[in-house]
Amino acid sequence: MRILIADDHDLVRDTLCEYLRKEGATEVVSASTLDEALDASGDRSDIDLMVLDYNMPGMDGLSGLSKALSHSQGTPVALLSGNAPHSVAQDAIDRGAIGFLPKTMTAQSMVHAVRFMMAGETFFPISHLMSQREENPVSKQLSKREMQVLKGLCLGQSNKEIASELGLQEVTIKLHVRTLCRKLGAKNRTHAAMIAKETELF
């Protein structure tokens, strides 16, 4: 996978780029402004995903997203932010972004989210999902922890990976998965993830 990461905070950008390389990215291109990102992507026809910081120079809010989408010629574009409200995440998706990544995510979680988006799936942050729980009939059945486990299933994570991310034992995750399947009427973990996507939880 070939990814472009654009963020004006050197530490955030460099840490994420390095982690993606270690996790198997074929190539990671970096930029610190929207113009640099557009120039870099314009010189390349093999970029698989663009991840742009919502607040970096040149973005001007979601106007920068629209500009990037017009320039990308079909390459998926995701936004990265440390403080944008949930409403901005929804608006970004409505405008065509394939995902919205909060900077509070761990590097490992971001890698999973990147893989999820590169598979053609739209990624919403779990904090945004939790804020929408009262509006979704399926989420009303689930506890906060069960929602977190379900998010992991939708990202294709193993029980071991979910356990590590949440600081729990793998056997506890297995129990949560079993409970999730029962509550959702799912035959297995894959079916549970499908139900979550069909009901627009993710």
The pLDDT of residue 96: 93
22: Cβ–Cβ under 8 A, 6 or more apart, which residues?
none
87 CB neighbour count, 10 Å cutoff: 10
- The segment(s) of the chain belonging to CATH 3.40.50.2300 are 2-124
Give me the chain's average pLDDT, please: 84
99 forms beta bridges with 78, 123
The pLDDT of residue 99: 92
102 forms beta bridges with 81
Tell me the C-alpha distance between 51 and 57, whole Å: 14
The pLDDT of residue 144: 85
Tell me the C-alpha distance between 197 and 148, whole Å: 14
Structure tokens at 126: 């779990």
The secondary structure of the chain in percent helix, strand, coil, rounded to multiples of 5, reads: 55, 10, 35
The pLDDT of residue 132: 47
CA 17, distance to chain mean position in Å, is 15
Judge: domain 132-198, CATH 3.20.20.70. Answer: no
Tell me the C-alpha distance between 35 and 43, whole Å: 12
Domain 2-124, CATH: 3.40.50.2300
The pLDDT of residue 200: 62
Q: Are 12 and 37 in contact (CB under 8 A)?
A: no
Q: Are 29 and 3 in contact (CB under 8 A)?
A: yes
Model-level pTM?
0.62
The pLDDT of residue 137: 61
The pLDDT of residue 130: 47
Residue 18's H or E segment, with its range, is: helix 10-22
Within the chain, which residues score under 50 in pLDDT?
128-134
- The segment(s) of the chain belonging to CATH 1.10.10.10 are 132-198
